[in-house]
Amino acid sequence: MNGMLPKTKTYDACYDAFKWDIPEHFNIANAVCDRHAKIDPHKIAVIYESATGSVQELTFAQLKSNANRLANVLSDLNAKPGECVGIHLPQSLECAISHIGIYKTGAIALPLFSLFGPDALSHRLTDSAARILITCSENLLHLKEVQDQLSTLEHVIIIDGAGENLINWHEALASASDQFETRNTKSEDPALLIYTSGTTGNPKGALHAHRVLLGHMPGVEFPHEFFPHADDLFWTPADWAWAGGLLDVMLPSLFHGIPVLAKRFAKFEPEAVMELMAKHQVRNTFMPATALRMLQQVQDPKKFGVNLRSIASGGEALGEAIIEWGRDTFGVTINEFYGQTEVNLVVANNAMIMNIKPGSMGLPVPGHRVAIIDVDGNELPAGEEGLMAVQRPDPVMFLGYWNNDEGTRSKFIGDWCVLGDLGHRDEDGYFWFKARDDDVIISSSYRIGPTEVEECLVLHPAIVLAGVIGSPDPVRGEIVKSYVILAEGYGDTDALREEIQAFVRKRLSAHEYPRQIRIISEMPLTVSGKIRRIALRELDAKERDI
């Protein structure tokens, strides 16, 4: 099996040999479904495990048939190219069918996270002007709270129920034709709208073209060490409503004709995750850093018989200890990668062909031009801190923000798309993350990146998860404040806090240790498992008002 990347023995050879080949016309549905259904119709595409453990499989032929039926249903509802159709579903067969059916019509898929509350749902459906929404009975409850506010929403398709003014998924698909000619879209035609949460303001919709899937492929193949291999099978705990689940796992897996496992956990349970990966013989996983730290809590992990070939992680830096744990536990090196919803998977590691520097984001993925720049768009030399940026044109780069031309313009300095992160590049070309440019803590004139402090804190045996922010201080401007979840068997005591402070002071420096430590029971996380520092800042503000 061949990927897009040339399989070479060195990083330089891989980077130099790779060339983009983006056709004028390209449709994601054809690439991930139709062509496989024609070549190998009985090959398994999606494996779904329910909450009760029952398993269903869908072949590429069945995936195509169902997607064609849905495309006909959507066409009957007058879904037009360029308009958004919402998908408010967890990992499931219906979620995969929905994406492919929407792409077939030329409409834009609007993935919505299952755990979105009413306000988050309302903002995205209103801003996108979606007329059609595909959902499930569990998520319908949130929709009903705000449905009166959604002036554009006309049709709701429900996959597991019926009701007044609802379209029954099974009945609608059963009565629709299984023949549909996938629209011959151009590579530049819009296909996908994913809302991304910044630290301030409402989430912005990042609009992507059909070519975004081709743009993603090198960034998936590289950290998964020349994915695909013949026996590969992919799963991630990341929701398919997020770029990390959809564009880093589900669609790339189907693109290469590799089965993808769909399983939604209501709550991340480390032992259940190990059991799942062993049961289905998962070979490849994208595992956010937080999830990896939770897996570290599993006692005797080798007893499960997990047999992974590749682990990729992104969203926040891993330390050397967790990489060594990965090697010892799974026999593979965890390859870190870097990107964001607007321009994803542009820097990564591949232990097969490069040295791994723990904590580094890695080297530019073949096909991408990445640099550290200053505020005027000038490239900075090695060792100098600046803005992470990617040069356009680039097939993985978004078309722009939906209904937000000013936001799109502000994302660029000349031809550099600025990613909103501070970092530097070392003498060997490796990129190192410093902080979000709006997360930097400035204390007594020192600039402190919270990630480094968080990494140090979780090395302490008492700490499972740690989130770090700057808290306003009249003397220092800001102080480092950490919110931590304690490991089992540890209590909230002054002695423990002092021990943790001394631990960080010793390992980092006297100005970076947390002057305040708060013990919490639950860490606010994004869909991808990143710590939501904006939520911690809100919590801090409430605490200071007391």
pLDDT tens-digit series, residues 470-491: 999 877 778 999 999 999 999 9
Q: The tokens 């060792």 sit on which residue? A: 383
**Predicted local confidence at residue 199, as pLDDT:** 41
- Note the pLDDT tens digit of each residue in 47-91: 999 999 999 999 999 999 999 999 999 999 999 999 999 999 999
**C-alpha–C-alpha distance, residues 171 and 189, integer Å:** 31
Q: What residue type is 351 in one-letter code?
A: A
- Residues whose CB is less than 8 angstroms from the CB of residue 218 and which lie 6 or more positions away in sequence, other chains included: 4, 5, 18, 345, 365, 366, 367, 368
Q: What percent of the chain has pLDDT over 90?
A: 78
DSSP 304: G
| Higher pLDDT, residue 526 or 44 | 44
**Predicted local confidence at residue 134, as pLDDT:** 98
Q: Is residue 322 part of a domain?
A: no
Phi, psi of 316 (to 5 degrees): -160, 155
pLDDT tier at 437, thresholds 50, 70, 90: low
Q: What percent of the chain has pLDDT over 70?
A: 96
Tokens, residue 361: 């984001």
Q: The tokens 């902080």 sit on which residue? A: 435
pLDDT tier at 448, thresholds 50, 70, 90: confident
Tokens, residue 269: 């349970």
**Predicted local confidence at residue 450, as pLDDT:** 85
* Domain termination residue (choose one: 210, 225, 256): 210
Tell me the residue range of the domain where 471 lies.
Answer: 439-545
Q: Is residue 253 part of a domain?
A: no
**Predicted local confidence at residue 318, as pLDDT:** 82
Among 94-108, 361-375, 445-459, 519-533, name the one with the lowest average pLDDT: 445-459
Q: Is residue 486 part of a domain?
A: yes
* Domain termination residue (choose one: 178, 210, 242): 210
Q: The tokens 């390992």 sit on which residue? A: 507
- Residues whose CB is less than 8 angstroms from the CB of residue 168 and which lie 6 or more positions away in sequence, other chains included: 157, 158, 161, 162
Can you say whether the dihedral through the CA atoms of 67, 73, 74, 80 is positive or negative?
A: positive
Q: Is residue 346 part of a domain?
A: no
pLDDT exceeds cutoff 70 at 527: no
Q: Is residue 330 part of a domain?
A: no
Q: Is residue 354 part of a domain?
A: no
pLDDT exceeds cutoff 90 at 359: no
| Higher pLDDT, residue 288 or 440 | 288
- Note the pLDDT tens digit of each residue in 407-431: 999 999 999 999 988 899 999 999 9
**C-alpha–C-alpha distance, residues 286 and 335, integer Å:** 10
pLDDT tier at 197, thresholds 50, 70, 90: low
Q: What CATH number is attached to the domain comprising 30?
A: 3.40.50.12780
What per-residue string of b and e applies to 241-270 under the rule 16 or more CB within 10 Å gives b? bbbbbbbbbbbbbbbbbbbbbbbbeeeeeb
When pLDDT is averaged across residues 523-534 and rounded to a whole number, the result is 82
pLDDT exceeds cutoff 70 at 546: no
- Note the pLDDT tens digit of each residue in 315-351: 777 888 899 999 999 999 999 999 989 999 999 999 9
Overall number of domains in the chain: 2
Q: Is residue 321 part of a domain?
A: no
Answer whether the bond into residue 514 is a cis peptide, omega within 30°: no
Answer whether the bond into residue 364 is a cis peptide, omega within 30°: no
pLDDT exceeds cutoff 80 at 200: no
**Predicted local confidence at residue 161, as pLDDT:** 85
Q: Is residue 540 part of a domain?
A: yes
pLDDT exceeds cutoff 50 at 196: yes
Among 232-241, 365-374, 413-422, 508-517, name the one with the lowest average pLDDT: 508-517
* Domain termination residue (choose one: 210, 228, 248): 210
- Residues whose CB is less than 8 angstroms from the CB of residue 487 and which lie 6 or more positions away in sequence, other chains included: 297, 461, 462, 463, 464
DSSP 106: T
pLDDT exceeds cutoff 60 at 210: yes
To the nearest 10°, report the CA torsion of 138, 139, 141, 145: 170
Tokens, residue 213: 């899937």
Q: What CATH number is attached to the domain comprising 484?
A: 3.30.300.30
